[in-house]
Chains A and B, each alone.
Chain A
Amino acid sequence: MNNLTNQLMTKNLLKIDYEKYSHPNGLQVILYPDLSIPVVAVNLWYRVGSANERNSKTGFAHLFEHMMFQGSQNVPKEGHFKFIQEAGGSLNGSTSFDRTNYYETVPANYLELALWLEADRMGFMLPGLNQEKLDNQKDVVMNERRQRYENQPYGLAWEKLFSNLFSQDHPYSWPTIGWMDDIAKFELDDVRKFFEKYYSPSNASLVIGGNFDKSNAKDLIEKYFGEIKETAAIPEIETSLQSLSESKKIIYEDNVQLPRIYLAWHTVKAFHEQDAVLDLLSDILTSSKNSRLHKSLVFEKQIAQDISSFQYSGNLDGSFIIASTAKPGITLEKIKDEITKSIHELISNGITENELLKAKNNIKSAYIFSLQKIDLITDHINHYNFYLNEPDSFLFDLSRYEQVTREQIIDTAQKFLTKPNVELNIIPKKM
């Protein structure tokens, strides 16, 4: 372990002093007081995301997240925003493949308000529901889909990639926002069933972080969440093993001036042994001016306008993606050849100790910088609890990167990036 990690350990920066327990109704609670700040963050994860959907019903977990802001038995439509903002707090929710989260950060004296609001929609959402609200939020979500994806250059790239990388029955094959036709068709009954199945306290974990008193918080949690009944356990999602027997190439015409290439490979799920290795590999390939692909394609040869890569990993599976925009007059074939050449060179000639060290330092500092905000810390805690069943995994997470060797980087690149892939070309529309 190097100097920085030592320093962090001695100062106990990454050792969080938390308490975790479960309510009789199954709700997991994690308390992390930090009295040095004036606010308290409430962060709630439900173990449901778009991976729990099925074909023809895509996008529902996300639409449902919107419905959770439409009021409940004792909270009017938009009330959630109104109450929290009047208290000077901030709030939102988000949906991914694997989970849905809801969070609010409020001044320390408003903890009870946040818990009251979260409990009302966890336990008593359905009495607040009506057709008008659902129709309204379907319109809002369809506009979200247009604004964030359809009306953006290259905006449909991700769904084109994932629907080709994963087989049609795999839940990562459709986008979290859902297909437009599916969003348009949802009915009130879908909301009721989804709520009853997935929004049980036994399917949720509640993290409170920041300025609060632990025993008071426990009393409040008992008061507001104690009587909410749990529903039947949710069966695990069953998926087939994903692999490509041969490479696929998809060409899509879009409103773009410059063509862009995406290459995607199957890799490993979150926190798998090679997950951190792939993060470091991505850093070595594209994170900085001196990273291999950036230096070669953008800086020296100047054939690409930009290049990026990432290991995207979830609960069920993962994928490594490289994306690059060609300069005017440069073919995507040329870009692809250079990327392939660079990867082969890395595999045959290895990487330097310096390259690896820079990548590790980069990941470590970004990690420490993120600890400045209590809402991010509480979300991290829920993240670790979700994937590792251990909230205090900050040091473990960093050590995953610390231990990676040069050989592992090469082996991992060899293992995944030489296999068949999905190649997506987004090209300018023909006039």
Chain B
Amino acid sequence: MSNEAKDLLGNVLTADERELLELYTRLKAMSARDDLPPVATANVKQAMVMLWNACNDLAIVHEEPGCD
């Protein structure tokens, strides 16, 4: 991930914001997998949604919220 990632206002992300975005990106990728046991998939999705909420509120991402 580039250190020059920016938020919706064009500001360079802080270290904490970069970490949030990285966590969200990893959880999103994991929650899209279909080879994990239900216990993993469902809980990863829940975690991914919470991270999306933080990233969305902080204007780090603005993705389609209906897409889980």
* Pairing of A with B: no
Interface residues, chain B, with chain A CB atoms under 8 Å away: none
